[in-house]
Structure 1
Amino acid sequence: MKILIKEVARSQWQVCLDQHAVTFRSEAEARAFTRILEARLQAPHHFPDQQQRAAG
């Protein structure tokens, strides 16, 4: 996933995630969002095994 932070207007910043954009009131908010997003993307993900999915 490509993540880009850019200023789109005075006191308005966007975080672009591929083709999706999320707007923030400050660069600090945009960067904080990006840090959390990157941490979640890099976190280990556990998927249920085949038997658990069939039972659920």
Structure 2
Amino acid sequence: MADQPEYWYCIKHSRVETRDGCPNKDRLGPYASEAEAARAIETAHEKSEAWDHDPRWNDDELED
């Protein structure tokens, strides 16, 4: 995988970066394409919404 390009979304600078960008603590990824990395915030939001309604991840929705 080291030969394949990888992209990250830097949450500090709101931009897509390559491997030599900011520290990992400031970014999401890696993603296989620049387009996927550009959607990182939307993807994270979509996953969070899905988890909010999944009883395996949300104790509030577990049945007694």
| TM-score, normalised via structure 1 length | 0.35
Q: Which has the higher contact order (CA 8 A, sep 6+)?
A: 2
Highest Rg: 1 or 2?
1
| TM-score, normalised via structure 2 length | 0.34
More strand by percentage: 1
